[in-house]
């Protein structure tokens, strides 16, 4: 296990290193930091002096080392647009995105497990067929279209729910602004959460269904039937436990997909989170903010993936053996 | 009559695939709709009443006209017009064409890269194999859409909107195509590992065939059905990815819209009640992706390939 741990952490560090190199290369080529600082009215000599002073004429390697050292201490540069440290800007936007992901996760977990289990134990039922049919339709509707159509029906036509923004947020712990404290805030998060959940929910229902059906075929479940254990106990205790293992890994891998879909969802609902900020930063060519986003998202992504892998290795001994050998 | 006297067509006709297809209504309807899509987009210039790329045929005075079954419509625009006064039906035909071209080309690129790498990793084995599969693992853990958004956003910022728009189609194919090769590589590699120990491969070696011939002619045909199943799902995914990227403004420009950019251009007009600019292209997009997904599901059930599970 220890060797596997070291190997996995080494791999995570390597991926992070590649991300930082790419981010730095972007920073190096995108926009001119000097022009952002002094504008265009300064003469060529003064420019060259400043360039030398800021170390912009150093070699790629020297500049990268400086960039990496700063990045490790949390200094990711200052946003051109917000005139604030890029890290601060992102950390301010982070709660909005995390709450959106939380809302979507509640919907996904709350619905996919019961629906997936039901379709697995009653595969011939009409309701199961309806669920499976709807799930393939759900996979085929892009998340932004779900979002727009929801806005059209629930905000424009019926005027039930607000169409954009976060609404009334309440500050908790001095820093975190939450949507879950007031009715208005809650109303604002309903549609974005459903939109974000809509693309992942069918995938999870189908995954849980196929894993559960496979588990129900296994010998130990047959043995449990033969032993006369009650159906509910077999389904929800014995079978479900082994069904959830592969689901956890797939869930972990979906973090990256979730990041992409938060960008889409936040854009449609003008949700003031990290994804919306990233697209705005791209349109404004706000290089430090783009780079900071890449590094932060890359970091969150690599850490969660590594943790999920390690957890999986801990929980499931058969996989551990197979992977440690590889 | 023995089997080898039958023609290829006759063998195909009596196969399981065709038998099941004729008895499966969902598969038949899906295939018919998909075929209609392909024919309509191939002949788009003949079918479309207007040329959406020709600025001379676009009149801003005609903008936001509703579809013909609603009040205030102009009968020459069957599905209404978009915000710039383009005929929506023509724009959808050309847009579906772009979406399909990008989807199919991107998947062809994925398949080419994935099959090559998978064959190589499985056949050569050893260190090459473990390095290639490690890269595949890492690549697969990054979601395609996430990588595509970041790559295209940065490229757009680097080269400016003008030159980005010129190469948008090419960039989309490249980004979606490169991001998903591991899907194919894993499946092909698994087949190669299972097959290369078998006697017929030894026999081919003894006959003096080179490794490339053995890989392509002898081993690869064994993974045709999983490749087929993966490809259908991948085309559907690629079309959704393309639409999402175009929707974010990181894909096809408004002057040459795909279905995604059409939906995006209508987004602002939904509040003024012009739902058709978004909803009608949206409907065609969902229908196209849905029939491909249904066909993929059906193929998976019929061919029942042992897909590589990670």
Whether A139 contacts chain B with CB within 8 A: yes
Alpha-carbon distance of A251 to A204, in angstroms, equals 8
Closest listed residue to residue B297, CA positions, set A59, A198, A140 = A140
CA gap B230, A130 in Å, rounded:
24
B297-300 long-range contacts (CB < 8 A, ≥24 apart) are B297/A136, B298/B20, B298/B21, B298/B24, B298/B26, B298/B27, B298/B30, B299/B228, B299/B229, B299/B232, B300/B229
Q: List all residues of chain A from 160 to 189 with a beta carbon under 8 Å from chain B.
A: 163
Mean per-residue pLDDT of chain B: 83
Tokens describing residue A24: 């730095």
Q: Which of B141, B270, B285 sits opposite A156 (nearest CB)?
A: B270
| Chain centre distance of CA B257 | 17
pLDDT in tens, A30-78: 766 666 666 666 677 777 777 777 667 677 778 888 888 877 777 777 8
Q: Give pLDDT tens digits for B107-133.
A: 999 999 999 999 999 888 888 888 888
Chains A and B: how many Cβ contacts under 8 Å? 104
Distance from CA of B300 to the nearest CA of A (A): 13
d(CA B3, CA B247): 52
**What is the average pLDDT across B253-278?**
81
Q: What is the DSSP track for A43-98?
A: -HHHHHHHHHHHTTTS-HHHHHHHHHHHHHTT---B-TTT-SBHHHHHHHHHHHHH
Residue of B nearest to A16 (CA): B138
Cβ neighbours, 10 Å, residue A280: 13
C-alpha span between B295 and B34 (Å, rounded): 9
A36-44, long-range: CB within 8 Å, 24+ apart, which pairs? A36/A80
What Rg value do the Cα atoms of chain A yield, rounded?
24
pTM of the model: 0.84
d(CA A286, CA B110): 33
**Which of B101, B133, B33 has its CA nearest to residue B242?**
B101
Contact (Cβ atoms closer than 8 angstroms) between residue A177 and residue A96:
yes
* Rounded CA separation A203/A198 (Å): 9
pLDDT over 70 at B68, yes or no: no
Per residue in B12-40, pLDDT tens? 777 777 877 888 888 889 999 999 999 98
| Domain B24-49+78-309, CATH homologous superfamily name and number | MetI-like (1.10.3720.10)
Chain A residue closest in CA terms to B281: A145
A139/B278 Cβ within 8 A: no
Query: How many Å separate Cα B32 from the centre of its chain?
Result: 17
What is the rounded average pLDDT of the residues B259-273?
80
* In the predicted structure, residue B290 carries a pLDDT above the cut 90: yes
Which of B140, B141, B237, B296 to mutate: most A Cβ within 10 Å?
B141
Tens digit of each residue's pLDDT, chain A (326 residues): 677 788 888 888 888 888 888 888 887 777 666 666 666 666 777 777 777 776 676 777 788 888 888 777 777 778 888 888 888 888 888 888 888 988 998 999 899 999 999 999 888 889 998 998 899 888 889 888 888 888 888 887 787 788 777 777 777 776 777 777 778 888 888 889 999 998 889 989 988 998 888 888 888 888 888 988 888 888 888 888 888 877 877 777 777 778 888 888 998 888 888 888 988 888 888 888 888 888 888 888 888 888 877 777 777 666 555 554 44
Q: Does residue A116 contact residue A208 with C-beta atoms inside 8 Å? A: yes
């Amino acid at each position: 296990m220890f060797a596997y741990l070291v190997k996995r952490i080494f791999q995570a560090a390597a991926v992070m290193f590649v991300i930082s190199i790419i981010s730095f290369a972007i920073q190096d080529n995108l926009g001119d930091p000097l022009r952002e600082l002094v504008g265009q009215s300064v003469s060529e000599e003064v420019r060259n002096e400043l360039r030398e002073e800021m170390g912009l004429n150093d070699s790629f390697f020297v500049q990268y080392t400086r960039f990496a050292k700063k990045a490790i201490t949390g200094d990711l540069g200052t946003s051109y647009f917000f005139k604030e440290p890029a890290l601060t800007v992102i950390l301010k936007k982070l709660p909005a995105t995390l709450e959106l992901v939380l809302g979507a996760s509640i919907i996904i977990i709350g619905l996919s497990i019961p629906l997936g289990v039901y379709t697995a134990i009653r595969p011939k039922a009409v309701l199961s067929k309806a669920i499976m049919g709807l799930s393939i339709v759900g996979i085929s509707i892009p998340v932004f279209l779900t979002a727009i159509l929801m806005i059209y029906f629930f905000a424009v036509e019926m005027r039930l729910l607000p169409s954009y923004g976060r609404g009334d947020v309440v500050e908790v712990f001095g820093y975190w602004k939450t949507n879950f404290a007031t009715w208005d805030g809650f109303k604002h998060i309903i549609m974005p959460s459903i939109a974000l959940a809509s693309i992942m929910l069918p995938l999870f229902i189908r995954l849980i269904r196929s894993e559960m059906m496979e588990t129900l075929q296994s010998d130990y479940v047959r043995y449990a039937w033969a032993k006369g254990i009650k159906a509910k106990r077999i389904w929800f205790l014995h079978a479900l436990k082994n069904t959830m293992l592969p689901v956890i890994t797939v869930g972990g891998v979906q973090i990256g997909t979730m990041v992409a879909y938060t960008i889409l969802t936040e854009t449609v609902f003008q949700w003031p989170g990290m994804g919306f900020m990233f697209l705005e930063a791209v349109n404004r060519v706000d290089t430090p903010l783009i780079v900071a986003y890449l590094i932060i998202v890359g970091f969150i992504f690599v850490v969660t993936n590594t943790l999920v892998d390690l957890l999986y290795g801990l929980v499931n001994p058969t996989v551990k053996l197979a992977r440690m050998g590889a | 009559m023995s089997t080898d006297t039958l023609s290829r067509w006759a063998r195909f006709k009596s196969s399981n695939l065709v038998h099941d297809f004729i008895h499966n209504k969902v598969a038949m309807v899906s295939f018919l709709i998909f075929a209609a899509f392909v024919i309509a987009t191939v002949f788009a210039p003949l079918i479309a009443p207007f040329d959406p790329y020709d600025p001379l045929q676009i009149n801003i005075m005609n903008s936001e006209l509703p579809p013909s079954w609603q009040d205030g419509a102009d009968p020459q625009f069957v599905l209404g017009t978009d915000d710039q006064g383009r005929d929506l039906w023509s724009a959808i035909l050309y847009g579906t064409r772009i979406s399909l071209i990008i989807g199919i080309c991107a998947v062809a690129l994925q398949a080419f890269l994935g099959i090559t790498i998978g064959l190589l990793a499985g056949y050569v084995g050893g260190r090459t194999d473990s390095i290639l599969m490690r890269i595949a693992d890492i690549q697969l853990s990054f979601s395609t859409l996430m990588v595509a958004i970041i790559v295209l956003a940065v490229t757009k910022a680097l080269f400016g909107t003008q030159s980005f728009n010129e190469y948008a189609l090419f960039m989309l194919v490249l980004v979606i195509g490169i991001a998903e090769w591991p899907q194919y590589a894993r499946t092909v590699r698994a087949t190669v590992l299972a097959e290369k120990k078998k006697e017929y491969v030894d026999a081919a070696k003894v006959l003096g065939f080179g490794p490339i011939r053995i890989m392509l002619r002898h081993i690869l045909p064994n993974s045709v059905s999983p490749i087929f199943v993966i490809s259908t799902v991948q085309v559907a995914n690629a079309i959704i990815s393309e639409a999402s990227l175009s929707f974010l403004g990181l894909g096809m420009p408004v002057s040459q819209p795909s279905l995604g950019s059409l939906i995006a251009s209508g987004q602002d007009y939904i509040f003024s009640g012009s739902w058709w600019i978004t909803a009608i292209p949206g409907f065609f997009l969902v229908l196209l992706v849905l029939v491909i997904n249904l066909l993929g599901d059906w193929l998976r059930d019929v061919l029942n390939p042992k897909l590589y599970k990670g």
